[in-house]
């Protein structure tokens, strides 16, 4: 396991709260996950080529009818999570610092 850290922004703005997952690109082995806070993350991760999945949700301003809870919406485009195209190589011999500059369009 090595430390993987970095930043995440969408359209030039830091992601205030979200999640980041580093999955093995070949599908073999464990994934590593952590939280994004104020655009920064710090995760312990196994080495290897990883598919990176980034997600975040925000309040819609609407309330649920039954319990009055805030209704949330995912706002990170699918190409960064459910259909992620992001990939990074996590190495024993490098700093493993990654900066993800995401775009809505």
CATH of the domain at 6: 2.60.40.10
SS3 96: coil
pLDDT tens by residue, 36-92? 999 999 999 999 999 999 999 998 888 888 888 888 899 999 999 999 999 999 999
Surface-to-core class of residue 90, CB atoms within 10 Å of its CB (0-12 exposed, 13-18 middle, 19+ buried): buried
- Alpha-carbon distance of 31 to 67, in angstroms, equals 34
How many structural domains does the chain have? 1
pTM over 0.85? The answer is: yes
Distances (CA, A) of 33 to 3, 17, 90, 105: 12, 14, 14, 26
Q: Is the pLDDT of residue 7 over 90?
A: yes
The pLDDT of residue 62 is 85
For 22, the domain range is: 2-102
The pLDDT of residue 68 is 83
Residue 73 corresponds to which tokens in the numbers above?
């919406």
The pLDDT of residue 70 is 86
Q: Is the pLDDT of residue 6 over 90?
A: yes
């Amino acid at each position: 396991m090595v430390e993987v850290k970095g930043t995440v922004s969408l359209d030039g703005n830091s992601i205030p709260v979200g999640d980041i997952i580093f999955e093995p690109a070949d599908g073999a082995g464990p994934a590593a996950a952590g939280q994004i806070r104020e655009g920064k993350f710090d995760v312990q991760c196994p080495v290897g080529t990883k598919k990176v999945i980034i997600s975040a949700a925000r309040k819609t301003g609407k309330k649920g009818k039954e319990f009055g809870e805030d209704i949330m919406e995912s706002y990170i485009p699918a190409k960064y999570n459910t259909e992620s195209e992001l990939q990074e190589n996590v190495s024993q011999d490098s700093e493993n610092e990654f900066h993800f500059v995401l775009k809505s369009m």
